[in-house]
Amino acid sequence: MEMSTHSGSSSVRPPHRHTATGVGLVIVMALGSVAVWLVSPIVWLWIGSQMTNSTQPSLGPYLLVLAGMVLTAVVIGKFLGMVNRTHMRVTGRAPDTRKPAKWNRSMRGERAPVNDRGVLEQVMAISVSFALVLFAIWFFIFAGSSLPGG
């Protein structure tokens, strides 16, 4: 009978620290994602609608809504990137930024660099999927038809 010499205590990754803080930061990222896809467009559409009294508005409100949504998405995106880096630091997933000089590296002992980007990509992918599902539900069930006779 062969016994395994692998112990469960040796791990490639450091153990996760500050779990409550990490979960809180993921929640902040999720809320920020919702703000990008839901809150920001609604707020900017409301602002644009307040700029005109006509049912045929000029180009100005449309440009304001477009520019506002893009600017808001960039600002929230920068904030979410900062939160993601903080999450990586808190949970011990931050990459080692020390790089030895090229002349001081081993030519055969190099491992491929691990590119851990944190959880922001997964949070954003889930939020986009959720937003698309909600849009499809609204569009096909609640929006009604704009076609004549529909």
User: Could you read off the pLDDT of 23-81 as tens digits, one per residue?
Assistant: 999 999 999 999 998 899 999 999 998 888 877 778 888 999 999 999 999 999 999 99
Angle at the Cα of 37 (from 115 to 75), degrees rounded to 5? 65
Q: What percent of the chain has pLDDT over 70?
A: 71
pTM of the model: 0.67
C-alpha gyration radius of the chain: 24
